Structure 1
């Protein structure tokens, strides 16, 4: 069987990926792996510079886990609760409307004031009805980009959207800090992490380590450098759903702490909340429905078709074992440029794959992530059998 190193080096040599960083650790300290492969950029003149382990990645939706942890820290301090009406801190949502139907013949949406309250639990599990309808319009401020009519009554469906951005605003409003400063102080400092930033140009040493985005134009074709701007390097506001940058090694420290349940970020009951599956039939059906589309399934982690999953505050949770990989109850998520992580509390292992390849849900990157995960579990088994 090929080793992890030979598999990844072969992918680099074939220009299947420009490079990648992979990190995994076990909570008992018996296993630790961290390697980077390939180059930081495919741009002519820069394509000889190796990808170092301290390279910086746009974490995109992996930001959501950090924001969820931050929000649950505020719940621990009784600054707000999981199930109160969030409009106490988010008055912008007070009179929000929900689409209830469309007019016959014209297809014009019909709206009414939402009947159900929106809670933090809804925001973190994508069950609030808030969608990404306007989020791509970067000419708007964060609140305006996040503010659109609900697509269903809060708690009565599932749609991946801007809920975690609103949760980040709640953290800012009770702490008096920007989300960047809050995460640096309350996640970065306890774990000795120095690379998490939102406004990356303000940190020259971190900015110079930023991995350059590569593009795959054809599904199975090679990657190439692109001058295309995938994401603004600096935003004026901190997006709790997608705005953070960090190194893969530093992000793994967060995954390890949560998987180990070491109380450095959250108390045990709040870690349980982070992993608790949203089990309502409506939500599970909603998740199952969106995963029927192959492209969406890949963006959501590329699980084998038909895998039983649902959503929790920290990400997607598998409700069955994946043979050779993570066990039932494990949590995973990823980011737009093909960064993927998992946390398996039963086995006591977590890991992350980092690349900066567009578009999202790239099958090649997903295949390498899955192979890395399988090799991690093989190594753990070898240790336990020794």
Structure 2
């Protein structure tokens, strides 16, 4: 990244707002401690102006937050990085692996190794989002068991224990450590942290990350007094580009109540300033002020590529992704040392250590890594 051009960032975001591609956006850029924020557009067509403290659904940016806590647990010897998780997650002990994705569910073989914390952190534990293979028996079973529903509607969700019990009835797709499969491992990791700590995941994150960093607006739900800061979330029609409401804002949002099952893969809401605090923690090598939350070596491991070429092979979730990226613990990394991740509901957080830059983009229009023009144009504007 070169010299910061805030005018260029504003122009890029303003063009998307003017075209109607997104109602509004909030962008924060910190370079060597100098912070600029742009709040552009409105929360919804005809709605209130977008504000710096607008609360967004950050989706998969939840993952690195949870991963950071997992590494804290390894530093305290609560969990071992390469120890089997069977003690805490007996539902996943003695796994069996389906012989092919299209095979019958009983056509399996014993897993060659147990699942470890490292497998969960790197999405190589053997199960994840399915792409391709049509109406395969395993895909049908996973859908029937509601394994991959995303952040749940609070009043209709099961407990984490019930979700894990259902998941444990299915075979793995790959042997642990064999291939990268996205997302589901983060939810399993959240359950592991709750059981290992004896606390609800929300409380673990609050005590370990949110309170120490002053992340006052981050959580799995929005208190009633702050619901006016939640805009609607939209998905765009792939053909017409027209926006459709995915989740209403304010009192209609799914995030208005504490969920029975807090999703560690994508359930958090947050603000640009809260995510800045988390980005600063990683940029500073685990330190916040005079306090150290994470060892420098843990941050270095978290933000380094942990995958082998074999583990990356056949990972089809984001086409072309591993041609330019690797995966650390809970986030993506690039050969240049840049690291971070994006949320599918329109958010992005990346850190570039060399230029000491933290970039945060918050919108309410869905987008996927490498497939969102808005994401790509924002980062190009930073130089």
Same fold, TM-score > 0.5, yes or no = yes
Question: Are the counterparts in 1 of residues 182 and 317 from structure 2 also a CA contact under 8 Å?
Answer: no
| Inter-partner Cα distance in structure 2 for 1:116 and 1:85 | 9
Q: Which runs of 5+ in 1 are unaligned?
A: 298-305, 320-327, 378-386
2:176 is aligned with 1:154: yes
User: Which residue of 2 is the match for residue 208 of structure 1?
Assistant: 228
**Of residues 127, 131, 144 in structure 1, which corresponds to 2:128?**
131
SS in 2 for 1:3: helix
2:192 is aligned with 1:176: no
Deviations 1:242-287 (A, max 9, x none): 1111112211210122012252331101101111212322113244
Question: Are the counterparts in 2 of residues 333 and 340 from structure 1 also a CA contact under 8 Å?
Answer: yes
Shift of 1:207: 2.6
User: Which residue of 2 is the match for residue 384 of structure 1?
Assistant: none
TM-score, reference length from structure 2: 0.81
Shift of 1:144: 4.4
2:370 is aligned with 1:374: no
**Of residues 90, 93, 104 in structure 2, which corresponds to 1:108?**
104
Instruction: Evaluate the alpha carbon distance shift between residue 312 and residue 359 of structure 1 in structure 2; reply closer, same or farther with a 3 A threshold.
Output: closer
2:267 is aligned with 1:243: yes
Cα RMSD after superposing both structures:
2.7
User: Which residue of 1 is the match for residue 54 of structure 2?
Assistant: 55
User: Which residue of 2 is the match for residue 35 of structure 1?
Assistant: 38
2:83 is aligned with 1:84: yes
| Inter-partner Cα distance in structure 2 for 1:183 and 1:226 | 27
SS in 1 for 2:313: helix
Instruction: Evaluate the alpha carbon distance shift between residue 100 and residue 160 of structure 1 in structure 2; reply closer, same or farther with a 3 A threshold.
Output: same
Instruction: Evaluate the alpha carbon distance shift between residue 195 and residue 226 of structure 1 in structure 2; reply closer, same or farther with a 3 A threshold.
Output: closer
| Inter-partner Cα distance in structure 1 for 2:238 and 2:314 | 30
**Of residues 322, 325, 333 in structure 2, which corresponds to 1:309?**
325
2:215 is aligned with 1:193: yes
**Of residues 108, 115, 119 in structure 2, which corresponds to 1:118?**
115
Question: Are the counterparts in 1 of residues 54 and 271 from structure 2 also a CA contact under 8 Å?
Answer: yes
| Inter-partner Cα distance in structure 2 for 1:169 and 1:80 | 13
2:354 is aligned with 1:355: no
| Inter-partner Cα distance in structure 1 for 2:305 and 2:175 | 20
TM-score, reference length from structure 1: 0.81
Deviations 1:206-253 (A, max 9, x none): 333112112322446343556779984342122111111111221121
